Amino acid sequence: MLNSVMKAESRQLVQLDAQKSGAGATTDSDSGAKPLFGLDREALKERMGELGEPGWRGKQLAEALYRQHVEGLNEITTLGKTLRGKLVEGGWKVGRPAIRQVFKSIDGTERYLVECGRGDTQTKETVETVWMPEGDDGELGDGSDSTRPEVAGKTWNRATICVSSQVGCAVNCQFCLTAKLGLQRNLTAGEIAGQVVSVLARQAVEVGKERVNLVFMGMGEPFLNYDNFIAAVRLLVREVGLSPQRMTVSTSGIVPGIERFAEEPAEVRPKLAISLNAPNNLVRQELMPINRKWNIESVMDAVRRIKLRTRERVTFEYVLLGGVTDQPEHARQVARLLRRAGLPVKVNLIAWNPGPGIAYSIPKPGAVDAFSAILAGEGVPVYLRRPRGRDIYAACGQLKRTVEENGK
Ligand code: SAH
Ligand code: SF4
């Protein structure tokens, strides 16, 4: 059932405006210049100081980059022409990652290839970012409200943005398309936060008024790029104005990363999701080789160090692979395992999205519902992720692969 929906929708996925977005007259063109986007208020003040400008200019710059979502220096009218000229002479540009290609599904989901380019080189790579109006239901069960004040002209009540943290991934989970790309590089904090701001700008989101969730569940393993990931969260909270309680970071179970995460102050700590994906260590280490380094118990020990907020739950993501992880016995094992963990949990079930060159199968009809019913019967809060967003062009990583391979 889930899969017939997926297939029907993916045929509808059309490319809208390749190469158009971000190529407008307002974007800075000098690709060799240094990006201001990604610097926090303090760093911006310092840069302004170096140009002989007072500190409050840094605040103006931060406002323009992170609240007004400007794309080019010429849009920052508060700075005046002379100062904008000084910035250009000093080798600076806005440098926010640009949406290069847009793919839109009939259900309103938009998938983007976002072009990232580091300031220090001319390298340009794309990562996938997804806009899901109404989310994919994976955000439910977190105690947050589901309504927002009416905003004229908007067709959605809440939305979720799915963000990438690396170009490719080194973790090598056997069912994942992104793994096939290998790790190409870490994204910088500006490139991670920039995906979000580019989508907020495109969708004309009024931050603070409208309910937007962020999930760090795109390409890459955020906890293997921890410093940049958490710096991006700080920017998104302090400068862009998003709430960490509406952010969820997903990890394959990188224990040192979870331990660092546990030390973060609540005001910049997102919620946590663990990609469990298997009912026991034996199956998990076959699917996720990282389990040989950090097994389920060591991941749970690390997760227990986090001081959870009132009503906060830790999400366990579970990809259902036909015959391999979707059997009734597996559901009972998952319930036992989570009970033993002694944590407030919820489970997000998702049917595996098939991808080329990966020899697993999708669950048989009825298997997803049966699995979900067993967990619910054992008292585990369980949510079925709707097949959309990163799920429609099949799995995350497939968009980039498909587009770039066809382009060769
Ligand atoms: N690297 C992090 C975050 C990105 S992957 C992690 O692994 O948690 C985000 C989620 O997508 C993970 O839960 C992963 O198990 C899931 N996923 C990967 N490939 C998938 C596929 N083909 N079908 C369904 N879910 C998949
Ligand atoms: Fe990396 Fe996550 Fe894919 Fe595993 S599931 S290879 S950790 S992106």
What confidence tens digit (pLDDT) does each residue in 90-109 have? 999 999 999 999 988 877 88
| Range with lowest mean pLDDT among 162-166, 177-181, 239-243 | 177-181
Helix (H) or strand (E) holding 260: helix 255-262
Going by C-alpha positions, the residue among 113, 101, 93 that lies closest to residue 31 is 93
For residue 289 the two structure tokens come to 């080789």
DSSP 224: G
pLDDT of residue 77: 94
**CA-proximal residue: ligand 1, atom 3 (nearest):** 217
Q: How far is ligand 2, taken at its centre, from the CA of residue 171, in Å?
A: 6
Task: Give percent of the chain above pLDDT 90.
Answer: 71
**How sure is the predictor about 137, in pLDDT bands with cuts at 50, 70 and 90?**
low
Other CB atoms within a 10 A radius of the CB of residue 204 amount to 11
- Ligand 1: nearest atom to the Cα of 395: 22
Question: Catalytic annotation on 110?
Answer: no
- Ligand 2: nearest atom to the Cα of 250: 2
Q: Per-residue pLDDT averaged across 67-81, rounded?
A: 95
**How sure is the predictor about 23, in pLDDT bands with cuts at 50, 70 and 90?**
very low
Question: What does the mean pLDDT of the chain come to?
Answer: 86
Question: Catalytic annotation on 173?
Answer: no
Q: CA-CA distances (angstroms) from residue 295 to 225, 286, 289?
A: 20, 12, 10
**What DSSP letter does each residue of 275-323 carry, written as one string?**
E--SSSHHHHHHH-GGGGTS-HHHHHHHHTTS-PPTT--EEEEEEE-TT
pLDDT in tens, 312-343: 999 999 999 999 999 999 999 999 999 999 99
Q: Is the C-beta atom of 249 inside 6 A of ligand 2? A: no
Q: Which residues contact 199 (CB under 8 A, 6 or more apart)?
A: 99, 112, 129, 131, 161, 205
Torsion on CA atoms 369, 162, 288, 295, rounded to nearest 10: -90
The span from the CA of 206 to the CA of 225, in Å, is 29
pLDDT over threshold 60, residue 138: no
pLDDT over threshold 50, residue 25: no
Bridge-based pairing state of the strands 110-117 and 124-133: antiparallel
| Range with lowest mean pLDDT among 85-89, 129-133, 136-140 | 136-140
- Ligand 2: nearest atom to the Cα of 176: 3
Going by C-alpha positions, the residue among 383, 399, 389 that lies closest to residue 156 is 389
Q: How far is ligand 2, taken at its centre, from the CA of residue 274, in Å?
A: 11
For residue 118 the two structure tokens come to 């580091």
